[in-house]
Amino acid sequence: MNALEITDLSKEFKGKRNQRVLALDRLSMTLNRGEVFGFLGPNGAGKSTTIKCLMGLIRPTGGDASILGSKIGTVESRRNVGYLPENPSFYDYLTAEEYLMFVGKMFELDNHLLLQRVEDTLKLLELWDARKRPMRGYSKGMIQRVGLAQVMVHDPELYILDEPMSGLDPIGRALVKEIILELRGRGKTVFFSTHITDDVEKVCDRVGIILRGELKSVERLDTILKEGVVGYHIHIKKGGAGNEIMLSSRDGLPKVMAEVASCGDEITLIEPIRKNLEDFFLDIVKNSKPDRDT
């Protein structure tokens, strides 16, 4: 059973003056269990709309999807999912500890297990010292970490995170990436949206690129990076001196190596020159003509 199965999912909104906005256009994809999937797209691309449809917060106008085998919109489909909304807001008169207890009870955790999970989660998210303070006094970064804590407290199989790194400082971002990797290490599945390529490059197995409601590409990250090799820097020892040549294509390497060898010189290092995920993403954006405002 896949973690997610999405088939032709579409969502049309009625915008200003009854203008129709096709926020999602027949999106289809599957998410394997145990993988970390980065859902990458610029502002207004349709990431939150997709996630809200999956979580049953809005109804798709076309297509369908299932989560861990259960149809979206059902209680069953949400039971084993941790969901972080894009801009989480909480009952701010509660403390983080009280709030996590409340969430755990909603997921019907037994009391003993719940107390342990709340403690572990607060410590993991570095909220332990603040656990008795009402959340209204928390910083933005702390609120975002409470958001992640409430996602994790019932230890679900699947994590659906809408921009989990947004609003965090570099330390907070590093912590979230560490947590995502730790979840993957425990065989969990993570689907998270972002518009920052670097976030994806650090933690994802696969990346999907969404643009103006259309899924433009789904690819393994290692394939993108491997196929992104556009040339090489070749370091050569010539007599006593060092020399460097740049080869700006992937193809000519054997020929250059043979030529260097025939001159009796020695290759000391070959460094691939590669496009990174950001270049790949920008190429897709450039090659896709805008057909409507977002």
Ligand X SMILES: Nc1ncnc2c1ncn2[C@@H]1O[C@H](COP(=O)(O)OP(=O)(O)OP(=O)(O)O)[C@@H](O)[C@H]1O
Q: Site residues (CB under 6 A) for ligand X?
A: 13, 15, 21, 23, 41, 43-49, 86, 195, 294
Of the pair 9, 260, the CB lying nearest ligand X is at 9
Nearest distance in Å: CB 203, ligand X: 18
**Count of other CB atoms within 10 angstroms of residue 268:** 12
Of the pair 87, 111, the CB lying nearest ligand X is at 87
Nearest Cα neighbor of 151 from 176, 187, 186, 185 is: 176
Of the pair 57, 245, the CB lying nearest ligand X is at 57
Residue 12 structure tokens? 């049309």
Nearest distance in Å: CB 292, ligand X: 8
d(CA 177, CA 181): 6
Nearest distance in Å: CB 251, ligand X: 38
The C-alpha angle 209, 184, 75, rounded to 5 degrees, equals 75
Of the pair 43, 287, the CB lying nearest ligand X is at 43
Nearest distance in Å: CB 195, ligand X: 5
Nearest distance in Å: CB 225, ligand X: 24
d(CA 22, CA 71): 23
Q: Order of strands, edge to edge, in the sheet holding 189-194?
A: 81-84, 158-162, 189-194, 36-40, 206-211, 214-220
d(CA 59, CA 249): 48
Nearest distance in Å: CB 19, ligand X: 9
Strands (E), 173-294: 189-194, 206-211, 214-220, 229-238, 241-247, 266-274
Nearest distance in Å: CB 9, ligand X: 12
Of the pair 4, 153, the CB lying nearest ligand X is at 4
Of the pair 61, 294, the CB lying nearest ligand X is at 294
DSSP 36-94: EEEEE--TTSSHHHHHHHHTTSS--SEEEEEETTEETTSHHHHHTEEEE-SS----TTS
Of the pair 46, 104, the CB lying nearest ligand X is at 46
